[in-house]
Amino acid sequence: MWIFLTALLLLMPVAMVIMGMKLLRAKPRKERYYRTERALRNEATERYAHKICGRFYLWIGKRLLLITLLFGIILLRLNSDLFEPFCGVILLLEISAMLLAVPLTEGALKNKFDNA
């Protein structure tokens, strides 16, 4: 059971790493992955938003991948009764990290393009 749950928890960090690589290589106006009103103003803002969000997803995805693996192994060794509740906590951590990319990217866009 712990192998299945750990594998499911690893899907989100792996998807974040893959999406981070895609965002860094995306060509504006062809492939739009990060779409907000501020990011779609022009090609420069779109390219910058893809770069910032892609870097964050790569950075946080790699760390979440490591954290999820370590927690999966450590909790298996300690106590199997704690594994399922901690899976929920880890899942909430992963979702929060994924959603944190939007305000960080919007803040970076605001700082770079709205001040000029």
> In this structure, what DSSP letter does residue 17 have?
H
**How far is it, in rounded angstroms, from Cα 74 to Cα 3?**
13
pTM of the model as a whole: 0.84
Number of domains in the chain: 1
Q: Whole-angstrom Cα distance, residue 33 to residue 54?
A: 10
For the chain, the residue count is 116
pLDDT score at 7: 86
Helix axes 43-78, 2-25, angle to 10 degrees: 160
Find the range with the poorest average confidence among 20-24, 39-43, 45-49, 85-89.
39-43
Task: Give the pLDDT confidence score for residue 82 in this predicted structure.
Answer: 74
Q: Which domain holds residue 72?
A: 2-113
Is 60 exceeded by the pLDDT of residue 115? yes
Alpha helices per DSSP H over 1-116: 2-25, 43-78, 83-113
Distance (Å, rounded) from C-alpha 106 to C-alpha 95? 18
Q: Provide the CB-side half-sphere exposure for 9 (13 A, CA).
A: 28
